[in-house]
Structure 1
């Protein structure tokens, strides 16, 4: 999941840089901006490398300007801001030793070895010092270190930097920002008046020209982090920050973070009484409360109906299995770290405690696909049965590390809406295209409609099967993706060990991207399990297997929808769809009769008969995000009517009960994913 921000629209211009002339000079002479969100902060050389504006090529070249408001421009600003942070830390905490400070999505971090953890007061002091450094317009100056020995000598007081020098060829994303794959370089921060060096850091760059090109930043938080991500290494203090091309962009980012916090599904789950994570059960294992259970059931029921219409057959499989199943599938070889440890069962002992019958290892299943292979293999299959589409809401268990468990969106126990489709090679392409259409249409039915696709290809160090079949599977997915008309982004090496996949990336109401459905083409599992079908000519052939999880998992999709709608679920999904609120006790009976009529039509309705005053009842149920509040006073009772109040505070008064019941029923039945308002609801009255 990631937050999206609009990038600056930069004209596709190229700038000629004569030999011996700096890129910055050429950019200025071309009349390109040097200030603001459109300011050019670095350039891209003909080989695609980003270069400082102080770079002077040895031959005439053309470069592509990179503006501050682009993703690459922001990354350079953030990395430069990380240097400013490190300078501020060493000025205020002279004993601090430097780790690494890379840009990351929407920000940056820097690791420090210090005597004590940083406090909130420390962060405020560091921000103040950073603003002084930025205002001082220090110049970032690149310097090539003549040798590794020279680098060791200069960095003798920085043990972590010395380790990076010794690991110069390391290609880790974070560490390559420090040493790169070419020359060893150090960036000096120079005083703009005297030209004297104020501070230095080992880094491959590039950087913005001066600290003045870091117009807006904020330090966010502190966390502990092991050096180079290894828990056997020293624990450092990591300061996270964010930096942007303008104060406006920073303010927008901070507002999006605040809105994301308000929409956090873990928070809303508690406030709306949807689900919880009891300590007694364990990390990453949720229980759904009655109201959450209603939402989940609605999600599942609608999905089941759509799958039935699309020709899927429902199956059920157990939660545990003998280890032999996962040995055959290959999961014990390639996925064991993601599985819960084995349970050793079934051993029998004689009276003296000696083993009479050895036990066996059983595993909680991390996925459903091997079980479905056994269902397919349970009897002979004909080409006339294919494609065979098996579907299961199957609960699986994966041993996610405690640091990555995150509510419903990264859980240890969850239920996949898992389908496995067995088809002939000739059916594969049409099946993929229709499957992708089915997946996208169903996601749209739940209110997500902004997608792009990601194609994950073979990891040469983690794969099984022939290259020929991998190529066929990958191209089949690529063709289906192109036929959808959606943007396709490559994810090299991101496939599972048995086959490539397409993942549907969906944007929510905040513009954040979530991985939703996955579609994988698999030539290898049918071979490992000896799956066959009888072809038209009587020969025995291998089917192709398509793995497909539409929601990914029910829990994760529930969490995403909770945040997408900020807990205000569409009326058809809402746990409580309508609440009757009487103005006085004598109006209760009228609303109970209205509720009876609604309930007879399948509407989830309650009547608030508590002793609270009407205005408090309205606030309570508005906070609970009920889509329809039905108010009744004396005039309503006399006229056989109710008055509507909606989530946005608008009202429609005096609606006859029969029309009100019909309109609510119609709104729910058509699965409108917008919240009803006085204006939109009048259309169905």
Structure 2
């Protein structure tokens, strides 16, 4: 960091803001936080002349999360102003969450009402108008525990996450809460926000703990961006996969089966089948080997893989039967099974790469507070694959995975953005393996992205516990992002399981393992597709491609014959033989979002043609049955994305 020799000496502490101001006053004014030697800090933090100080501006990747986290604290300050006896839980910003940009959990006996949200939002604006500063306070851990001894929620965070000198933030006279920061300099920087809803949430996600009230909200740097998001949210409500799933008879959940466990009805199961068929075709074309593995395994498998140590909170408890000494667990991942298949026989470098793929169903204990229809379930199927390769073939395999993902997403009309997820630089202890293998893995992923000239954002702390990864987030029809593909390079699990291949030097070497999913959870992808298409599935995956609508009962036999001909040609059709007027039948087919409607009257019965309507364009004229079959067959062949 360079400073002008003409800068006057001041007795006041040197802060990051002063450094920025000495370089460019306008940039200093816009900065919402800083990076000091790579670490996110407040603009008011003290620095030394040898520190590297860089601004975090509103357009930077980290900025919106900091801004929303600050808005969550503004919310909490307003709640404490209006309801002084309230206790505070967690208040994070949220990434790609369907419920908004942040939340805060509150412990209070009286339920918050919609009128309360209006009052709270008004008080937030009053605090923001006063431009109240965010102030960071640090104190020794024991002093903090004593100071907040009457607040068991704060004491939990201090004890579990505070370290030796936990930090707190204040905003006005009432609000103080444990937080690592950073925050925007003052509440006046928060210009556009909206409180959205109230929901129940158990403390720490544990059903045995007290139930808190969770207020959701969102915020943006400009009112225009907020208005655009609110309009998007209104459109998203129309596309909500839970509502459409029920209306289109695709899936359901029941208390009798259990929370987070989906039941797919015939039409929903058919769509899933067609998606898997599409993936299997692509897998075989790309020289993958299909495998199939059990739903449970010995707990020893998960101990060796590291899941027991690093992933226990998301796994179901172990089961033991009779006097058998081995415990079993539902699998949260497929990778250890594919490793066992690799180990089943000796391998040579000439055999590699080996690509194993499976539509493998896994089970994870998602807390009730985070479940959301098909988007967060407890049992789901992954389009999972594991590639075993040599150092010489690693780059080609990563490039192949990226090309595979691009082709699949183009089929559904998705744009996408890419993140390179790496270790938390401050906490290596939560990851497996030494620095050398992590550096090699990260370099391989970076090189592949650079070779394809794919733009990406580097994200600290989002790596898997066994390796860094490329995450691909698709952008849906209303510009929301969804995490789908992941490509993870893993040097650790092959070593933990003792995997080997015999190299060209006739010596054993550990293979490199690439974990790869393109759609991720099929259930989640199904929910995404419902919302992306608004329930109007393209013809190739529509459960019913055409509804046959006779105008009178006397034509029902003819309709059945037409249906038979279409089914023989491979089309999926249904006949509406109800004694209803044709207008009612057309409206019903529209509500069911069927791509094509074939109206049959006396003239069509005589000529053997069909009067064709589409769900988007209405009446498009009369076609022969052969011409209609050819039209739909070609759409299916091309996997056309039709409105």
User: Considering the TM-score relative to the shorter chain, is it more than 0.5?
Assistant: yes
Map of 1:604-643 to 2, 5 A cutoff?
A: 604-643=572-611
Decide which moves more: 314-323 or 105-114: 105-114
* Partner residue in 1 for 2:436: 468
Q: Distance in 1 between matches of 2:70 and 2:415?
A: 37
Residues 76-87 of structure 1 correspond to what in structure 2 (within 5 A)? 85-86=75-76
Distance (whole Å) between structure 1 residues aligned to residue 601 and residue 330 of structure 2: 57
Q: Aligned residue for 2:118?
A: 124
Q: Residue 320 of structure 1 corresponds to which residue in structure 2?
A: 296
| Counterpart Cα distance in 1 of 2:343 and 2:48 | 67
Quote the RMSD (CA, aligned, Å).
Answer: 4.3
Deviations 1:502-535 (A, max 9, x none): 2222222222222212222222333333333333
Q: Which residue of 2 aligns with 1:683?
A: none
Distance 1:383 1:451, change over 3 A: same
User: Which residue of 265, 276, 279 maps to 2:241?
Assistant: 265
1:437 Cα offset (Å)? 0.9
Q: Which runs of 5+ in 1 are unaligned?
A: 1-15, 34-38, 180-185, 189-197, 348-357, 676-685
Aligned CA distance change for structure 1 residues 430 and 56 (closer, same or farther; 3 Å): closer
CA drift at 1:670 = 1.0
Alignment of 1:57-456 (within 5 A): 85-86=75-76, 88-90=78-80, 92-96=82-86, 104=94, 107-128=101-122, 137-141=129-133, 170=162, 178-179=168-169, 186-188=170-172, 216-224=192-200, 236-347=212-323, 358-456=324-422
**What's the CA shift for 1:599?**
1.4
Match of 2:462 in 1: 494
For 2:33 and 2:524, locate their aligned partners in 1 and report how far apart those are by CA, in whole Å: 41
Change (3 A) 1:492 1:535: same
CA distance in 1, matches of 2:473, 2:516: 14
TM-score (norm. length: structure 1): 0.77
CA distance in 1, matches of 2:528, 2:581: 35
Would the alpha carbon gap of residues 599 and 108 (structure 1) be closer, same or farther in structure 2, given more than 3 Å must change? Answer: closer
Closer/same/farther in 2, CA of residues 81 and 423 from structure 1, 3 Å limit: closer
TM-score (norm 2): 0.82
Are 1:17 and 1:63, in contact at CA under 8 Å, matched by a contact in 2? no
Q: Distance in 2 between matches of 1:336 and 1:102?
A: 23
SS in 1 for 2:579: coil
- Distance, in Å, in 1 between the alignment partners of 2:462 and 2:182 is 28
* Separation (CA, whole Å) in 1 of partners of 2:82 and 2:563: 66
Q: Matches of 1:56 and 1:331 in 2, distance apart?
A: 41
Matched-pair contact (CA < 8 Å) for 1:83–1:201: no
1:664 aligns with 2:632: yes
Cα distance in 2 for partners of 1:541, 1:269 equals 50
Corresponding residue number in structure 2 for 1:540 = 508
Residues 453, 486 of structure 1: 8 Å contact kept:
no
Q: Deviations over 1:536-594 (max 9, x none)?
A: 44333332222222221222222221221122111101111111112223444444343
- Secondary structure at the aligned position of 2:525 is classed as helix
Tell me, in whole angstroms, the C-alpha distance in 2 between the residues paired with 1:71 and 1:315.
39
Q: Separation in 2 of the partners of 1:427 and 1:56?
A: 48
Higher-Rg structure is 1
Of residues 282-291 and 157-166 in structure 1, the stretch that sits farther from structure 2 once superposed is 157-166
User: What secondary structure does 1:343 align onto?
Assistant: coil
Q: Which moved more, 1:89-98 or 1:383-392?
A: 89-98
Corresponding residue number in structure 1 for 2:3: none
Count of matched residue positions in the alignment of Structure 1 and Structure 2: 619
Match of 1:562 in 2: 530
Distance 2:339 2:350 in 1: 18
